[in-house]
Amino acid sequence: MTAEQSGADILIAALCDLGVDVIFGYPGGAVLPIYDAIFKQKRIKHILVRHEQAATHAAEGYARSTGKPGVVLVTSGPGATNAVTGITDALMDSIPMVVITGQVATHLIGSDAFQEADTVGITRHCTKHNYLVKSPDALGDIIHEAFHIATSGRPGPVVIDIPKDVQVATARYRKPGPINHKSYRPQIKPDISLIEAAVEMIAAAERPILYTGGGIINSGPGAAQILRELARITGAPVTSTLMGLGAYPASGEAWLGMLGMHGTYEANWAMNQADLIVCLGARFDDRITGRLDAFSPKSKKIHFDIDRSSINKTVRVDLAVVGDVGRAMEDMVKIWKSRQHQKADLSAWWQRIDEWRAKKSLSFPESKTEIMPQAAVRALWAATHKKNPIITTEVGQHQMWAAQHFDFESPNKWLTSGGLGTMGYGLPAAIGAQLGNPNTLVIDIAGEASIQMNIQELATARQYRLPVKIFILNNEYMGMVRQWQELTYSSRYSESYSDNLPDFVKLGEAYGWKGIRIEHPDDLASGIKAMLDHDGPVIVDCMVAKLANCFPMIPSGASHVEMMLGDDKVSGEMSDEAKALV
Amino acid sequence: MHIRTAPSERHTLSVTVTNEPGILARIAGMFSARGYNIESLTVADISDDDMISRITIVTTGTPAVIEQVVAQLDRLVPVHKVTDLTVLGDHVERELALVKVAGVGDQRIEALRLADVFRANVVDTTILSFVFEVTGNSIKIDRFIELMSEIGLVEVARAGVVAMARGKEAV
């Protein structure tokens, strides 16, 4: 029989047993016993962030880039509420994360004690599951169960709220065996008869398209490999959501680029004209479908998803396969081969795709006097892609330009806030990714507005000597807001100008970063080189064309075939129906 | 611009869950978070070890919404099984109500006569009032209350719907 130990020590022991090597956190009154336990051990590295929201995004960046769950430790009350944005972000983007929150002692719960908040109540609907631990006896098992739930099935955030007295009180801890949960049994293995049906539908299709998403990234690097094989043997074109970029290489011949609101002309037209859509680990999000009643009207649809509730949520499908998308694709490839299906003659389909490609929808006006933001992203790609860097972003125009113009060849290299669209995600996510990948180049492609939302994390990167690079596309506007105001509100720029900006070079220097400003197209390449040459964190303030807009674009309320291209007239007013859409 | 609403249908769901703190909040909260309707919700422990509760939910929505309600319930970690009894087919639904009626003279006689028709029991009485206990499907109880309101309805308490599929199988 092992000796009794404190709840705080049980927590550390369980985390060690689960292979946790880094925690992102911020101390406070209700977690002092846990911080004392951290002080007394050496196995887990604690990263002190400067704001709890950043801890959650850093954990997301760590998780997304390594495939391991991110772990967060914050105090009660404001510590927990500050973490809510990142927890919600992880839920929307299916990121495995375990958040440990301190809580006031059990006898004080409900008394409006100092720094008390109803953390399990507040996080009930932004977590995959959450726990309030009432006794140290239950703590060990709950921590193991929480990791199981966070990482299995459709991954997501799990909160464990631990009252301070439970951290201090003692109990015995024993590493539990394999978890056999009473009610939580995600379906991993797909039904093989459905896979067979899917294979026959693909083999019979004349205009198929593989519509891939973040589920493939979550399924692991093997899933990205098998996707390439599936695309090769079927000859079908491949498009991807924002979250799925990198699963199929941008240099691959079947690649159509991203689809959806800011997707390519060829990807969206192919979705519209296809006779078969094979949705692999994506969820028919509203950024993807555009106007629902006009979404891909002529196609049959197969949906592979590990989460049954994603099926038929917005788009009715003809065949639904619940299970891990990597395993499903593996089974499909096997059955395709065993049935000796040959690649169908899709030349007529590809010919149409080539016609759409000829539109060159990602082209943008060149300028000799101003840095075009798209050109800046392409220059960044040209200078860094051989290093296979990890790119994070904030949210807005720069994010879409990065998605469009930075070509990804492998999974886990693209970290962005897709579902929730959280400004301030990129810098902490880059910090988390750099910790998980110490020898990889990590760049946060940012906007001047978003970067200010977690700018305090410059200190965190410096403290832990993380050579993160921030590349700000500075157009002095909340550009996406301004773009929508042009499209929808006759260019009435209500509060979208980034006034009173700091000097980002001096700001970086104040935090011990190197600061670089790039103002002219001629200095772009040298500025990027200077950023890469510096062995340490660098913030680049790249002044770009102020009024450039992000195209192509499917305006809200429009269908895939109503895309706006770069040379379309922009400013105008929209109907109330369109104004009501996000 | 006007906001459109779609026609909806009524479904009765049976949900078995692990008995744990917050489970009801988790379920009710999911309904409100996703904009689903709850017409009635009943819950009670059904196990001999206090571990499993059975929740009966009557909800309304379009067929697509009902399908989502079932899937969203099913993905909650403490939920064991969700059965859409309306889809499953034939099932029985029962509800219990306590109905207080006040009156004198003929009103009392008529109340008792109606109660007899509805097989309602008198569970409390004073010179001026009765409390009836009536069970049946929701339509029968609606009807009973409607009739009593013409006599002297004072107060109603309804337990909500419990339901079970017909036949020998468990859900």
Are A545 and A483 in contact by the 8 Å Cβ rule? The answer is no
Residues of B with CB below 8 A from A575's CB? 1
Residues of B with CB below 8 A from A182's CB? 18, 80
Closest chain B C-alpha to A48 CA, distance in angstroms: 32
Task: Return d(Cα A295, Cα B97) in angstroms, integer.
Answer: 48
Same domain, B13 and B80: yes
Say what the ipTM of the complex is: 0.89
Are B55 and B12 in contact by the 8 Å Cβ rule? The answer is no
CATH of the domain at B109: 3.30.70.1150
DSSP state of A342: P
Same domain, B75 and B105: no
- Report the chain B residue with the minimal C-alpha distance to residue A184: B77
Residue A480 a catalytic site member: yes
User: At CB < 8 Å, which residues of chain B contact A?
Assistant: 1, 17-18, 21-22, 25-26, 29-30, 33, 64, 67-68, 71-72, 74-75, 77-80
Q: Which of A279, A157, A277 is nearest to A213 (CA)?
A: A279
Same domain, B72 and B100: no
Same domain, B17 and B53: yes
Closest chain B C-alpha to A106 CA, distance in angstroms: 14
Task: Return d(Cα B98, Cα B121) in angstroms, integer.
Answer: 10
A126 lies within 8 A of chain B by CB: no
Residue A533 has a CB neighbour count (10 Å cut-off) of 9
**Considering the domain A373-550 in this protein, what is its CATH number?**
3.40.50.970
Residue B3 lies in a domain: no
* Ramachandran area for residue A527 (φ above 0: left; ψ -120 to 50: alpha; else beta): alpha
Residue B107 lies in a domain: yes
Q: Which of B84, B58, B60, B61 is nearest to B71 (CA)?
A: B84
Burial of A191 (0-12, 13-18, 19+ CB in 10 A): middle
- Looking up tokens 């949705």, which residue turns up? A279
Which tokens go with B38? 């709850």
Same domain, B96 and B129: yes
Residue A480 Cα distances to A124, A427, A450, B113, angstroms: 31, 19, 11, 71
B77 → closest Cβ in A149, A311, A577: A149
Each of the 582 residues of chain A gets a pLDDT tens digit; together they read 579 999 999 999 999 999 999 999 999 999 999 999 999 999 999 999 999 999 999 999 999 999 999 999 999 999 999 999 999 999 999 999 999 999 999 999 999 999 999 999 999 999 999 999 999 999 999 999 999 999 999 999 999 999 999 999 999 999 999 999 999 999 999 999 999 999 999 999 999 999 999 999 999 999 999 999 999 999 999 999 999 999 999 999 999 999 999 999 999 999 999 999 999 999 999 999 999 999 999 999 999 999 999 999 999 999 999 999 999 999 999 999 999 999 999 999 999 999 999 999 999 999 999 999 999 999 999 999 999 999 999 999 999 999 999 999 999 999 999 999 999 999 999 999 999 999 999 999 999 999 999 999 999 999 999 999 999 999 999 999 999 999 999 999 999 999 999 999 999 999 999 999 999 999 999 999 999 999 999 999 999 999 999 999 998 889 999 999 987 666 788 888 888 887
Beta carbons of B71 and A311 less than 8 Å apart:
yes
Closest chain A C-alpha to B136 CA, distance in angstroms: 32
Residue A476 a catalytic site member: no
Residue B28 lies in a domain: yes
Task: Return d(Cα B63, Cα B44) in angstroms, integer.
Answer: 28
**Considering the domain A192-357 in this protein, what is its CATH number?**
3.40.50.1220
Residue B34 lies in a domain: yes
If one counts the domains in chain B, the total is: 2
Same domain, B103 and B129: yes
Q: Which of B88, B103, B138 is the last residue of a domain?
A: B88
- Looking up tokens 């519209």, which residue turns up? A272
Beta carbons of A316 and B64 less than 8 Å apart:
yes
Are B13 and B73 in contact by the 8 Å Cβ rule? The answer is yes
DSSP state of A301: E
Same domain, B82 and B98: no
Same domain, B15 and B83: yes
Which residue of B75, B76, B79 is the best one to mutate when testing the A interface, meaning the one whose CB has the most A CBs within 10 A? Answer: B75
Which one of the listed residues A115, A225, A456, A463 is annotated catalytic? A115
Task: Return d(Cα A195, Cα A253) in angstroms, integer.
Answer: 25
Same domain, B100 and B152: yes
Residue B153 lies in a domain: yes
A368 lies within 8 A of chain B by CB: no
Same domain, B106 and B58: no
Task: Return d(Cα A472, Cα B64) in angstroms, integer.
Answer: 44
Residue A114 a catalytic site member: yes
In this structure, the strands spanning B52-61 and B40-45 are: antiparallel
A307 → closest Cβ in B1, B75, B77: B75
Same-fold call for A5-171 versus A373-550: yes
* pTM across the whole model: 0.95
Tell me which residues of chain A, numbers 162 to 201, contact chain B at a CB-CB cutoff of 8 Å. Answer: 181-184
| Angle at which helices A52-66 and A426-436 cross, to 10° | 50
Same domain, B107 and B78: no
- Domain extents for chain A? 5-171, 192-357, 373-550
Q: What domain range includes position B59?
A: 9-88
Task: Return d(Cα A320, Cα A198) in angstroms, integer.
Answer: 9
Residue B170 lies in a domain: no
Residue B100 lies in a domain: yes
Residue A506 a catalytic site member: no
Same domain, B117 and B98: yes
**Considering the domain A5-171 in this protein, what is its CATH number?**
3.40.50.970
CA angle B149, B155, B161 (to 5 degrees): 95
